[in-house]
Structure 1
């Protein structure tokens, strides 16, 4: 994992060619786990400024630690259409902290994605530096999944929600996507009605598991391959019927 840093200065060096491509307007941004934050913005840095000084450096206030930084160039000097920038080097300088104070803050989660069934739960574990930092837990959609302040996630309804663990009083956060699915109930029943080529119709009261097994068999089998159905017919304890694949004319499924 990339170690988080508190960047408070950056410098751009031009290529020495194509002054119309030198950046004129831009923002310097950091990713806090949820969105890009603008830490610094510059405008109207002319090509004359770049010719006079091939390195343009900028200092700003930032005490927070982030894993990702970027520059968004909005406008170049004289360029039109798609913005292309003639930069040959970008440097970022880390803020120097007081040695007596912790100089790193970051947070990670033990899982980026959780898949849960409705009504089930799981736990996310956050690792923070310093380990005394307080973590605040939130859910983007509490109708789908909730989270308590110990990281315990409860799946409520089918859908997706973002669980965020954030270091208190900072913008430093980590996310996990929770995907909630409906449980598969193999005990639900359907009526499977099979019409044979001789015109006889067979009906079976089957569970979803048996129905799915039959559908898989029907798609892959051929010829004299058979599928076994079990049912109770008085006065017998159990009756087993075998349906031959090439004797099936059609079938339908009626769920209830």
Structure 2
């Protein structure tokens, strides 16, 4: 009995430990920054210019809080802090040559109790194109900072820039300065959405829809095309009664009776302040005519 009881206790401890480990793994995977394995493109900086590239900031609290502290691959130290009384500003890094970045992480200062209120709340992540700062990512109301936990931010970008910066406009309430313990920049090709390829101009594509399509006539109608002896073609959209009246006139005149001309109403082809416009067809100028009746 004692042996069974001991085995039961050990099994219970093992089961509890397994559940705790599973919960811990799930929690760690859900934390930002732990879901991807990508390389930090910024080297471990020992100063603003060593070992390569250059770290810079809009202001610093003191010489001990320089920009390179945010790129020294740890959040343990004093990190970067802006000038006293200026709780906003930018911090950036310039690569030796242009590189594409579409992911970055931020971590608060690990050894300071006010890390949450002095960390960024509103900012843009920007790339320098040689003339202007291009906004690549915008974040607002980021408040749930935890010491020892990185926040990961991704965006679609395949363009290589030489300089990047985090432009902070508001921290989480501490009136003295804004701080960052550690910042990383990465590139993950799996999150890049390819831009659509331009169409081959030699391959005909679908014709654009006419913004003012010609309405399909409804009812008993037809297109009458009259070819004149000069080769000129005249087209009329008429009711079948109007078409039959024209044919009756033409056949009557051909038989030797009727007037020498026939007036065809131009209907919607009227232009200008007219009550109506008519095209008078001279019998001896007509070479042929064609009737195309609309299907019902």
TM-score tier by shorter-chain length is 0.3 to 0.5
Name the one with the larger strand percent. 1
Name the one with the larger helix percent. 2
Structure 2 length-normalised TM: 0.30
Structure 1 length-normalised TM: 0.34
Larger Rg computed on CA atoms: 2
